[in-house]
Amino acid sequence: MFALDHVVLTVRDIETTCAWYQRVLGMRRVVSENGRVALHFGSQKVNLHPAAAPYSPHAAVVEPGTADLCFLSSRLIEEVVEDLQGEAVAIELGPVRQVGAQGPMDSVYFRDPDGNLIEVASYARRV
């Protein structure tokens, strides 16, 4: 059995990325003992690698803006959309109905500062 522990984003500017993910998605910036920066949320994290000097080992192609990530929210997707609009985040698509690992979900899509496609999805439905 496998589980996902973390993902890595290659970014142009770690501080800009941290500020955006903290403000827009409420993630927590954590610096490890070796000085590497990660964004923590729940029991997961996103490690950040600087594009100018990526840590080894790394993916074969190291470019900012090449990721497509989906984060789950326990909130209704309409509430997520309201928060994104409040932060002046341009929504590219959604809310739309999608199928995730656990079944049908509602999603909204937008971009982070590096152009990565970010999806926030919710399995919560209005009753």
The Cα–Cα gap between 92 and 33 comes to: 37
The Cα–Cα gap between 98 and 86 comes to: 24
**DSSP string for 36-73:** -EEEEETTEEEEEEETTSPPSS--SS--TT--EEEEEE
Q: What's the token pair of residue 51?
A: 């594009």
Q: Is 119 a catalytic residue?
A: yes
For the beta carbon of residue 41, count every other beta carbon within 10 angstroms. Answer: 14
* Catalytic residue of the set 15, 82, 92, 119: 119
Q: Which residues are catalytic?
A: 119
